[in-house]
Amino acid sequence: GIIHSDENLEKYGVSPQEADALRLALELDDNDAFVLVKAPEEMGKKALEVVVKRARLSLKGVPNETRRALENGNSEFLRELHGGARLYPDTDTPPIIINPEWKRRVASQLPEYPWVLKEKLAKKYGISSEFAEELILEEKAEIFKEIVESYRVDPVLVASTLLQTVRGLEREGVPVENLTRDDFNGVFKYLSEGKIAKEAIPQLLAKLAEKPSNLDDALNALGIKPLSKEELEEIISKVVESNMSLIISKGERAFSPLMGAVMKQVRGKIDGKTVAELLKAKISEVIKHGS
């Protein structure tokens, strides 16, 4: 048999001292290895010739051959793998002439390389390179550009909606595969027109995935309708009046709980930034007048 120096040599009857003596005689260092062959002389020589040949082949890479797995965990040679020299033209297919004009026309219609598009998306629209890469990988770059260039909306919001919001809805069991290009365009069109707030987007997309007849029906089903500034101010005033003692005791720190109370009534109907600005102003007014 063939014994490798990286095996447990003692199980073959070779003591550590004998192994060290072999390494010394062969002038080996720590990075070298040796092979022992235990067989009749002629058979042993042939085995060593194969070992040497195999070692030389390893310098060129893994041999192109098919091997068969054996039950004992080893493998054995079956046949060589044929290379590209065996490839030949299909004799049943006539040659196809590629003219220069055809090549130019095809080249002009090819999409941009993904890495070029990624850089352009990030630079032009101010989104992260991670968002840009995900839009490309999920084949949503075109609808992203279409929405951002059609409506006055935040590109980062559009990207996060197409990627993170949709993934979140999918985890909740929403059939997001039903959402169409028109659904996304409609949602951001209404957002740009002030008909909905960005906070309404997730629940609106979830409702659209159920395929109502149109966007307005989805809004009606959710009870979402635009809220005027006057209506918002009235809601804020009522929340502030109901929590006067909290404002007096905590001052500006009362903002967070009151913001939650207001948003519970207006979420999806008006932008959260507008709510925060009006609520802070109202709280400051109460603190200033001490009542």
Within a 10 A sphere around the Cβ of 65, how many other Cβ atoms?
11
Q: Where are the alpha helices (DSSP H) in the chain?
A: 16-25, 41-58, 100-109, 114-125, 129-137, 141-150, 155-160, 166-171, 181-192, 201-208, 215-222, 229-242, 244-250, 255-266, 272-289
Asked if the model's pLDDT at residue 290 lies above 70, the reply is no
pLDDT for the residue 267: 73
pLDDT for the residue 116: 94
pLDDT for the residue 194: 79
Asked if the model's pLDDT at residue 253 lies above 70, the reply is yes
Angle between helices 141-150 and 114-125 (to 10 degrees): 30
Predicted confidence band at 172 (pLDDT cuts at 50, 70, 90)? very high
Integer Cα distance of 204 and 176 in angstroms: 12
Asked if the model's pLDDT at residue 291 lies above 60, the reply is no
pLDDT for the residue 162: 97
Token pair 């020589």: residue: 45
Please provide residue 205's backbone torsions phi and psi, each rounded to the nearest 5 degrees: -65, -40
Reading the block at residue 100, the tokens are 């220069």
Q: Is the pTM of this model over 0.75?
A: no
Cα angle 216, 218, 224 (rounded to 5 degrees) comes to 80
pLDDT for the residue 86: 63
pLDDT for the residue 219: 84
